[in-house]
Amino acid sequence: MQVPRLILDSLDELGADDFKRFCWNLTQPVVDGCRPIPTSCLENKDRPDVVSRMIDSYGEESAVNVTVEILKRMNLNNEAEKLQNARPAGSTAAQNPPPTPSSSSVWTPAAGATVSAQGGSVIVAPYIAGGGADVSLSININTQNAPPGEGSESCCFVFTPNV
């Protein structure tokens, strides 16, 4: 089952008051690396809108983590466990947590690895070890949420080492 559907199924189990509390929790720090969603982005939103906003803000895997954590905070442990157990088989966040920046860390990403950040965030590029003539690095920058009037752009930088 798709992640948005899994989260929506969990939110559908909440009554009106619990859904309101869930949305309030989204405006608070919940999981490290996931910024709170502004209250104005959640006002008068129904469950599918909230799920879409969570996935836009956090990505699918982090949206599941945030949902599970909020459900636990609300003492809805059965719902949290159900969602955790229903994660897609390809979910790898538990086995491969995101790297934590440090001055001496070396992180070897899987092929096609993606790093994303919310507005105002900074991404410290990983140090990439290894080399050879067949190694290249592509960095795509997508400004989907550009300020009004600035449009949406995509930039691509490609680095191929000289050997």
**Can you say whether the dihedral through the CA atoms of 90, 121, 131, 162 is positive or negative?**
positive
Residue of higher predicted confidence among 71 and 135: 71
pLDDT at 33: 86
Decide: helix, strand or coil at residue 16.
helix
Residue of higher predicted confidence among 93 and 54: 54
Task: Tell me: pLDDT of 75 over 90.
Answer: yes
Task: Tell me: pLDDT of 24 over 50.
Answer: yes
Residue of higher predicted confidence among 84 and 96: 84
- Give pLDDT tens digits for 102-133: 434 444 444 455 555 555 555 555 555 555 55
Widest distance between CA atoms in the chain: 62
Task: Tell me: pLDDT of 91 over 90.
Answer: no
One-letter amino acid at 72 equals K
pTM over 0.85: no
Task: Tell me: pLDDT of 11 over 70.
Answer: yes
CA distances from 142 to 99, 117, 154 (A): 21, 10, 4
